[in-house]
Structure 1
C-alpha cells in the first residue's frame, strides 16, 4: 500500500494527481516504477480522460485516502460528461471497465472513437489559472474543464486556452506529464465569449461538478427531444420541422466557436437524428449545443431530472379490437362486384384496378374482410420486365482499341509516367467500370491489354534509364546507389535483368 499520495485539487484529473506523485517522489524519469507504485501492476496505461485499474488504486490508497471508484470516476475523470447520454447497460459497462484491468474498450463504448467530434490533440491550460495555481498552491495541475472537447477558452478569465506540448493521449503510454513541468509562462490572449457560449460552458461544468453516472438510455432522450419540439412549436401535423430547428440553432451559434460543430446543411444529419428514434448515442457536445439553445433557462441537472422521469423502454400499446365481421350476404355482393371489375378490365393488374375510382375502395374492403378469397381471385401479376437494352459489343470493342492506341502513343515516349498496367489503361476509357465487368464480351480489348500491359521489371528498367539521364544532365558521377535511389528501386527487388542494366549504365557513364 502507498504511504503517500498527493491530495487531489478541485476538478483535477486523476492523471494529474499521479503526475504530481511522480514529481513529488522524484520518479519523473522512472514512470514504470510509478505505475507499479500506484496501480500495483505493470499493465496500467496513462490515460487522461477515462482511465482503468481504479479498483487497484482504491485498494492501494485505502490507508491514506478513504475513497471509492465512483468518487474517482465522478470527480477526477471526464466520464460524467458521457455517461448520462448512454444507455444504462453501456454506462454500467464503462464504469466496470474503468474499475477493472480491462480498459481497452472504454473509448469505443462511449462512442468517442467513432465520433466526428474529436478530443483535443494536446493538453490545454489557461495561463491565468496556471499563474493562480502556482501562486496559491506552489504548483500547477491539469483541470478537467480545460480538456473538454470543443471548449477553447476559460470563462472565468475570458481567456483563450493555450496548447501545451503534451499529447492528450501520449505516445509514451506509461508516462504521466506534470503540468508544472509542461506549462510555459504565457500572458494569455483575451477571448470574446457571448452569453450563448457561457450557457454551454456552464452546462459542461455542471456535468463535472454534479456527476450523474447513470445512463438514461436512448428511449428517454428520444421522448424528451420530441416533447421539447412539440412544446416549442417545432411540430406541424405530427411531423418535426427539422429545417426550422436547424435554422434556429444556426442563428444562435452564428459567429461562435461552436458554429463549426453544426451540420453543414439542414438535410439528413445528426441534428435530424437527434429528434428521431435514437439508434445510437450522440456526443455530449451535440446534446449541449441543442439544450443550451432550446432550454436556456434550465440547468443540465434539471434537464437530466426531466429525462429520468420518462419511460426507459417504449411502451407497448394494447389494441382492443371490436369484431366487425361482415355478413355472408354483404361478402357475396362485394365478391360479385370484384368479378365484374375483372371482366370489365381484363388487361389491368392489381395496381391498375386499385387506381380506378370504384376499384380502390372495393379492393380495400375485400382485403380487410375476405383476404383469402381476394388473394385467390386477383389478376395475375403484370409483367414488369422490359426489353433489355442491346449492347453492340463489337463496336464497343473497336472504340476501346482506338482509345487505347491513342493513350499508348501519347505515353510510351515519356519517361516520367505511371506504370502502364491493365487497370491504368482501362481507367483512361469511358465506362471504365463496365469494361472491367464485360471483358469477356470484349475479346479485342482483352487481348490488347494482355499484350501491352507493362511488367514491373520493364517499368523499373525505364526508371533506371530516366535516373541515368538525370545523373548525366546534372554532371554527377554514375553510381549504383545513386541510380537505385533516383529510380526508387529497393535492393530486394533487384532481378538479374535489373542488375545487368545497372552494370551497363555504370560502365557507360564512366
Structure 2
C-alpha cells in the first residue's frame, strides 16, 4: 500500500472532509475521485459524511501517524454519539468506519430512524471563517458546526450558515467554508434554545465520559424528581406533558427541531429507551426543556443509592430495619392473597430495603396472566365449512365453460379465506372439507367433456381430437374408452 508523501497538519476541531479538501488542493488534483484513491485506496462515497468510512486504509497510508481510533476521535462526530452507545454498538461502528463499506452504520446509531439526516447541511460560522483565515491562513470545516441540531456557533454565538454548492454539485466539488453562497439556518438566536444546546453539544463532544456519567446516574430522572414530576419513582406523565407542551412551542424554528417539537412522545421514550439509541440532540433538547443549563450538567454528581431510575431511594436509609420488622413484612407480603406482587402489602418497602429477597420471591412466583379466548374458533370453523360447500355449488352452477374447483377458486368465495388458510390449526373441519372438494385433472376433464357434448351436440362418431378441441383439453387425463362411454351415456 502506497504511503502519502504529504498530508495537511490538522487544525483544532477540523473534520476529515476538511482535511481531504485541503489535501486535494495541496496536491492539485483535478477531481475528487483521484483524491479518494490516493487517501483511501478506493472511491469513498462517505468522505463528506459526519461518519466517514475507509479510515483503516487512510491510517495505513499515513504510516500509522494516526491510528483508526485517533482518526475517529479527532476528525469525526462519533465521539458525540459514544456516550449513548453500548460497548458492542460502539465497537461495531468503529469497525464499520475502519472498513470500506459503512452499510447499516447510520441505521445502527438511530440516525436513519430519527429523520434528522434529511436536514443535514454543510454549516459554517462567519466569525470562525474570519478568525481561521487570520490564524491559519485558510478557513476550514469545524466538526461541531456539522453536528445535528447545532444552529448557533458555540464559540461566537452567531447563527450558522448552510453553504449551497454551486450548480447541482455536492460536497465532491471540494470547497471550504464561505467559498459559495450560504444562507442562515435560522433567524435571530435571541430567546431560543439553540445557543444553550450548541454549548451542551460542544461540551459533550469533548467530554464523552462525563456524559456517560450523566446517563448512568439517571440525570434526567433526578431532574424530574426535583421538579415534582415523579411519585414513588414513577413518572407523572400527564403533568409532565402539560409542562412540556408550552416549552415545545418555544423551540427553534429549524427543521431538526421541528421534527420533534410537535409532540412530547419522544421525551418519554428517552426516559424509557428500551434498547434504542438516544440521539444527542434529543437528550440535550430535553435537558433544555427541563430548564437545565450547561453548568448543571457539569456539576451533577449521581447519588450512590439511585438504581435504575428508582428515585425513592433518596430518603435516608442509614438506619436499617431490624430483622424482626423485615420478617414481619416478608410474612405479610408472602401470605397476601393478591396474585400480582405490586398489589401485595409492603411491596415498595421491600423494594427499597430488602430488594434481594423480593427479587428471589418474584422469580419463584411468576404471575401468569390468563387470557380468555375471545374467538369461538369451532363456530367459525363450521361457518367456513358451510361457505365452502356453497362456494362449490356456485362454481358448479356457473354457466358456460366449466371452471375447475381449486383452492384459489374456493378461497375467493369465502369471506375469511385467507385467514383460515394461514391458520389451518384453527380450522380443521374446513381444511378437510376443502381437500374433499378439490377437483382432480381427471374429474375436471370429465366435466368439460360432458359440457362440450351437451353444448355442441357431439356424438360417438366424432373423432377424439375434435371432442378435445371443443372441450378445451390439451393434455388428456382421460382414456378414449372413457370419452366414448361418456358420449354414449349422454344420449
> What is the 5 A alignment of 1:67-146?
72-87=71-86, 90-91=89-90, 93=91, 97=95, 100-101=98-99, 104=102, 107=105, 111-112=109-110, 115-120=113-118, 123-125=121-123, 141-146=140-145
Q: Quick one: which of 197, 206, 217 aligns to 2:203?
A: 206
Q: Which residue of 2 is the match for residue 467 of structure 1?
A: none
Q: Aligned partners of 1:405 and 1:152: how far apart in 2?
A: 71
- Contact kept, 8 Å, 2:77 with 2:143, in 1: the verdict is yes
Q: How many residues matched?
A: 381
Q: Relative to 1, partners in 2 of residues 1:226 and 1:400: Cα closer, same or farther, differing over 3 Å? A: same
Q: Which residue of 1 is the match for residue 300 of structure 2?
A: 306
Q: Say which SS state the counterpart of residue 323 (structure 2) adopts.
A: coil
Q: Relative to 1, partners in 2 of residues 1:18 and 1:58: Cα closer, same or farther, differing over 3 Å? A: same
Q: Which residue of 2 is the match for residue 238 of structure 1?
A: 233
Q: Relative to 1, partners in 2 of residues 1:3 and 1:254: Cα closer, same or farther, differing over 3 Å? A: same
Q: Which residue of 2 is the match for residue 50 of structure 1?
A: 51
Structure 1 unaligned segments of length 5 or more: list them: 169-175, 332-349, 362-367, 369-381, 413-420, 452-495, 497-510
Q: Quick one: which of 435, 438, 441 aligns to 2:420?
A: 435
Could you list the per-position Cα deviations for residues 17-41 of structure 1 after superposition, in whole angstroms to 9, with x for gaps in the alignment? Answer: 113312331224363x5345435x5
> What is the 5 A alignment of 1:158-237?
158=159, 161-162=162-163, 164=165, 177-180=173-176, 184-185=180-181, 191-193=187-189, 194-208=191-205, 211-214=206-209, 220-221=215-216, 223-237=218-232
Shift of 1:104: 4.5
Shift of 1:423: 6.6
Q: Relative to 1, partners in 2 of residues 1:249 and 1:284: Cα closer, same or farther, differing over 3 Å? A: same
Q: Aligned partners of 1:246 and 1:7: how far apart in 2?
A: 49
- Contact kept, 8 Å, 1:74 with 1:213, in 2: the verdict is no
Q: Aligned partners of 2:169 and 2:301: how far apart in 1?
A: 38
Normalised by the size of structure 1, how large is the TM-score?
A: 0.54
Higher relative contact order (CA 8 A, sep 6+): 1
Structure 2 unaligned segments of length 5 or more: list them: 346-356, 358-369, 401-405, 441-473, 475-491
Shift of 1:117: 4.2
Shift of 1:290: 0.8
- 1:20 lines up with 2:18 in the alignment: no
- 1:262 lines up with 2:263 in the alignment: no
Normalised by the size of structure 2, how large is the TM-score?
A: 0.56
Could you list the per-position Cα deviations for residues 115-153 of structure 1 after superposition, in whole angstroms to 9, with x for gaps in the alignment? Answer: 434424764335967985998688664433443234567
Q: Say which SS state the counterpart of residue 122 (structure 2) adopts.
A: strand
Q: Aligned partners of 2:249 and 2:201: how far apart in 1?
A: 20
Q: Relative to 1, partners in 2 of residues 1:426 and 1:272: Cα closer, same or farther, differing over 3 Å? A: farther
Q: Which residue of 2 is the match for residue 322 of structure 1?
A: 323
